[in-house]
Amino acid sequence: MRDGREVLPTPRSVELRPGAPFDLRPGMRVVAGTDPSAVGTAVLAAGRIGEISGVPVSVTHEEPTAGPAIVLTLARDPRELGLVDALEAPRLREAYRLTVSRDRAEITALAAPGLLRGATTLHQMGHRLPEDRGTRDRPAALSFPAVEVVDHPRFLWRGLDLGLRPAAVDVAGVKRVVAVMTDLKLDVLHLRVGEGGGEYDVEDYAEILTYAVARHVTVVPEVRLPALGRRAGSAGGHDGWDESWMQEVLGRVLATTPGPAVRLALRGAQPGPGPAADPSTAGAGPTAALVARAAEEVHGAGKLVVGSAALLGEAAGQGTVLRHLGDGRLTAQEEAAVGRGAGLVLARAGAPLDEPPVAGPEPSAGIAGLEAVLPSGWLVDPEPRGLTRLAQIATLAEVAWAVPDRQRPLAARLPALVERWRSLGLLDLDPQG
C-alpha cells in the first residue's frame, strides 16, 4: 500500500490515517465552489486525474449529497492548513493541506497555487487497484491512501532553464515541459523571446504564457542584447539597437509579461553549468550603455532585472536577481551586488538516481531560489541520457521544495513518474514527431 513516500518532491508532513482508502470510480466529481481561481484549478485537476485513470472526472460547484468527491476549499485563516511554521505571504500562497478519507479527498489552501500543489500531490499518490477491488458494475480505477499531508515550499524560485529554441522545441513541446514542471512543483521557466533567430516570437510567447499562467508557472522571458563594438552607434542608437527597438521588442515583451521579472543577456552567451559557459560581460562602452538602458526600461515597468553580475555591473543591486552559474562560491562582483540588495538564484547540478539529493543552502534574504540549467538537446535524446537529465531536474525539484531532513533518493520514485509522463505523451518533445 502506498503511504505518500512516492510523492516527488517529498512533502513536509505526511501522516497515515486510520480507515479505508479513497477509491476513484466512474461518476467522480471535483467540487470547486464559485471562486474562478478554484474552478480553474479544479478543471486542471479533473483533467489530469481523468487522463491517469481513464475515468472521466467532472467539475461542479456544489458538493454531491452522496458518493465520493474531491473537494477544493479556499480558506482565509492559515491555521486551517495545520501549519507548524509561521510563513510569509508568498510562501503561504503555495501551502496546502490534503486530507484523504474513504469518501472524500479535500485540498485546503489560501490561494489557487496551493490548491494546484495539493492536487499534484494527490494524483501522484494514486495507484491502480487489483481487479478484485472493483465490481462488474462499478470498476475501481485508482485508489488513494487515507492520509493527511501538510506542505509548503522551501524556496519560492524553483527554476528551469533549458535554453529552449523554436527550432528544437515548438510551442506544443514547451507546453509539455511546463506540464512536467507542474508535476514536480517547479515554478519558474526561462524562455528566450524576441524577434531574432533562435527566439520565440511574441505571438508564440503569448500562447505559452496562457498555458503556463494557468498552471502557476512564472515565465521569465530572456531578451538578448548585442555585444556592441567599442565604437558608438549611429545618432539614432547603437548599431541599429535604438529607442525604436526598445519600444518594439523589449516594450512588447514587457507589456505582455505578467510575471515579476525579465532576464537580460548578450547574444552569443550560452547557458551552462559553470562560469566559463556564461561569458556575458558588458564591460564598458556602448554595450554597457545599452544594458543600462534596457535595465532602466525593465525597472520602469515595475519588474525585476535578472542577469549575471558581469553583465549588469554596478547596476546590480536592489531590484535585480543574479543568476550564479558555478560551484556556489561567489565572485567579488557577485558579493558586492548582493551587498547592494540583489537577490541570488543558484544554478544546481543534478545527482545520480541512486544518491540522495544535496541539501544545499537555506532560503535567506540573499538567496531567492535554485535553478537547473541544462542543454535543450536532451529533450530529443534517446535513453539513458534523457532519463539522466530528468533525474537532474527531479533532483532540483526535491532540493528546492523539500526540507533537508525530508529529502530522499529518487530511484524509487522517478521511474513511475517518467512512465506516467511517457504514457501521457509529455516526453514526446521532438517537433518532427
Domains of the chain, first to last? 13-151 (3.30.379.10), 157-423 (3.20.20.80)
Does an H or E element contain 290, and which?
A: helix 286-300
Residues in the chain: 433
pLDDT of residue 290: 85
- Contacts by 274-278, CB closer than 8 A, 24 or more apart: 274/325, 274/326, 274/327, 275/325, 275/326, 275/331, 277/325, 278/308, 278/310, 278/323, 278/325
pLDDT of residue 410: 81
Compute the distance between CA of residue 150 and CA of residue 12 in angstroms, rounded to an integer: 6
Report pTM. Answer: 0.88
CB 225 within 8 A of CB 291: yes
Compute the distance between CA of residue 20 and CA of residue 286 in angstroms, rounded to an integer: 69
Residue type, 84: V
pLDDT of residue 431: 40
Strand, coil or helix: what is 195?
coil
| Average pLDDT for runs of 10 along the chain of length 433 | 76 92 86 91 91 86 80 95 89 97 94 97 83 49 90 94 79 90 95 78 91 96 75 45 72 92 80 40 70 92 94 91 84 91 81 56 77 69 61 87 83 81 71 37
Helices (H), 301-331: 309-312
| φ, ψ (nearest 5 deg) of residue 187 | -135, 10
Strand partners, 213: none
Pick from 247, 156, 256, 155: which is nearest to 204 by CA? 256
pLDDT of residue 376: 62
CB 272 within 8 A of CB 278: yes
| φ, ψ (nearest 5 deg) of residue 373 | -115, 110
Does an H or E element contain 420, and which?
A: helix 414-423
Compute the distance between CA of residue 294 and CA of residue 277 in angstroms, rounded to an integer: 23
Strand, coil or helix: what is 374?
coil
